[in-house]
């Protein structure tokens, strides 16, 4: 099963970063690649099982289900229900950990999925660099101090 792991350091307290990334409906606010997002069935964005339905700036539409959210561990786990990427069994987790030294945040984003073998390398690159790292880079810029 292909895996992607990306981690970075954001120069802000973990609580501040968590406030931004905790919102399951908030991708348009902080990532550079999501145009708009809504939560289906009028659910709350922190309701486990809720589905976010969002449109990428390139036009693609993705539906993802919130599987777990922890204000104690500062982590969020979700799966993909529909996407143009050609992945199956895709589960991803975004987690923050405080760095006491300098009061910064260690951010990790990992995903596991199944796909056609010939697409594996391209997908790992696309998800790791094009999505996770791109979002972290935007977070770093947002909190630059």
Partner 1 sequence: MVQVCQSTIIDAPIDEVWRVLRDFNGHDRWHPAIASSVIENGEPVDAVGSVRRFRLADGGELREQLLSLSDEECRLTYCLLESPLPLMGYVASIRLKPVTDGNRTFWEWRSEFHPPANRRDELVRLVTDGIYRAGFAAIRKLLSVGQRQVPIVARAVDAPAVARAMPKPVEPVSAAVSDRTRAIVVAKYGGPEVLEFREIGLSEPAYGEVRIRHTVIGVNFIDVYCRTGYFDLLSPPGVPGMEAAGVIEAIGPGVSGVSVGERVAYACPPVGAYSERRNMLPELLVRLPDDISDEIAAGALLKGVAASFLLHDVQPVRPGSVVLVHAAAGGIGQVLVQWARHLGATVIATVSNDDKARLVERLGAHHVIVYTSENFADAVMEITGGRGADVVYDAVGNDTFAGSLAALGVRGHLVSFGQASGPVGNWDIGRFSSKSITVSRPNYGHFTDTQEKLAPHVNRFFSALRQGIVRIEPPRRYPLAQAADAHRDLESRRSTGSLVLTV
Per CB under 8 A, residues contacting partner 1 are 5-9, 97-102, 104, 106, 108, 128, 133, 136
Distance of CA 85 to CAs 22, 69, 74, 121, 142, Å?
24, 24, 27, 13, 28
| β-pair partners for 61 | 55
CB of 32 to partner 1, least distance (A): 16
Would you say 60 or 130 has its CB closer to partner 1?
130
Distance of CA 109 to CAs 43, 44, 115, Å?
25, 23, 19
Would you say 76 or 107 has its CB closer to partner 1?
107
Would you say 66 or 139 has its CB closer to partner 1?
139
Q: What is the DSSP letter of 19?
A: H
CB of 97 to partner 1, least distance (A): 7
Would you say 9 or 48 has its CB closer to partner 1?
9
CB of 123 to partner 1, least distance (A): 17
| β-pair partners for 114 | 88
Residue that is written with structure tokens 């935007």 in the block: 138
């Amino acid at each position: 099963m292909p895996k992607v792991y990306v981690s970075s350091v954001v120069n802000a307290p973990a609580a501040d970063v968590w406030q931004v990334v905790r919102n399951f409906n908030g991708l348009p606010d902080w990532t550079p690649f999501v145009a708009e997002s809504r939560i289906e069935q009028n659910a709350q964005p922190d309701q486990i099982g809720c589905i976010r339905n969002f449109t990428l700036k390139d036009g693609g539409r993705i539906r993802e289900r919130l599987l777990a959210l922890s204000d104690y561990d500062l982590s969020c786990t979700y799966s993909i229900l529909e996407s143009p990427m050609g992945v199956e069994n895709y589960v991803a987790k975004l987690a923050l950990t405080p760095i006491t030294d300098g009061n910064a945040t260690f951010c990790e984003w990992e995903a596991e999925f199944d796909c056609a073998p010939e697409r594996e390398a391209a997908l790992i690159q696309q998800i790791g660099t094009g999505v996770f790292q791109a979002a972290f880079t935007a977070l770093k810029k947002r909190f630059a101090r």
